[in-house]
């Protein structure tokens, strides 16, 4: 488990910021985008094809991830390429997946990994 160091008590404004960042991770398509982008820079079209959803939906979710400062983007001609800016997203996902796996070991066959 990573060493987590946080202030023991956060003020209301800080708690709000933490909650807003956790909300970014609350949408499955956004998690799918993060998983797909792991280790690569990819065009919007490639993400649309991989996740089999509309370009409008992918663009909306990319905007949310970008605004949360989790992605970088680069324009190349008429295409936009996205990549992960904050690798800590995978640390968070591993923590959650570890918890789900511990729960699943009680009898379920599914194991979680991002």
Tell me whether residue 19 is in a domain.
Answer: yes
Tell me whether residue 44 is in a domain.
Answer: yes
Tell me whether residue 99 is in a domain.
Answer: no
Residue 70 · residue 84 · CB < 8 Å? yes
Residue-range definition of the domain harbouring residue 40:
12-86
The CA–CA distances, whole Å, from 31 to 23, 24, 64, 108 equal: 11, 9, 12, 22
- Provide the CATH number for the domain around residue 75: 1.10.10.10
Tell me whether residue 7 is in a domain.
Answer: no
Residue 37 has pLDDT above 70, yes or no: yes
Number of domains in the chain: 1
pLDDT in tens, 51-63: 999 999 999 999 9
Record the tokens describing residue 38, joined without a space: 């792991």
Tell me whether residue 24 is in a domain.
Answer: yes
Alpha helices in the chain (DSSP H): 12-24, 28-37, 44-51, 55-67, 88-104
Tell me whether residue 114 is in a domain.
Answer: no
pLDDT in tens, 69-107: 999 999 999 999 999 998 888 898 888 888 888 887 776
Whether this prediction's pTM lies above 0.85 is answered by no
Tell me whether residue 107 is in a domain.
Answer: no
Closest-CA residue to 69 (of 13, 20, 16): 20
């Amino acid at each position: 488990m990573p060493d987590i160091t946080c202030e023991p008590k956060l003020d209301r404004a800080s708690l709000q910021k933490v909650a807003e960042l956790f909300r970014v991770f609350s949408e499955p398509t956004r998690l799918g985008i993060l998983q797909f982008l792991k280790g690569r820079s990819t065009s919007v079209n490639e993400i649309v094809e991989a996740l089999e959803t509309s370009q409008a939906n992918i663009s909306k979710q990319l905007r949310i991830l970008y605004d949360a400062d989790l992605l970088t983007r680069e324009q190349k001609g008429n295409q936009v390429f996205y990549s992960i800016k904050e690798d800590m997203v995978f640390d968070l996902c591993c923590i959650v997946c570890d918890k789900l796996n511990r729960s699943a070991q009680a009898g379920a066959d599914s194991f979680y990994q991002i």
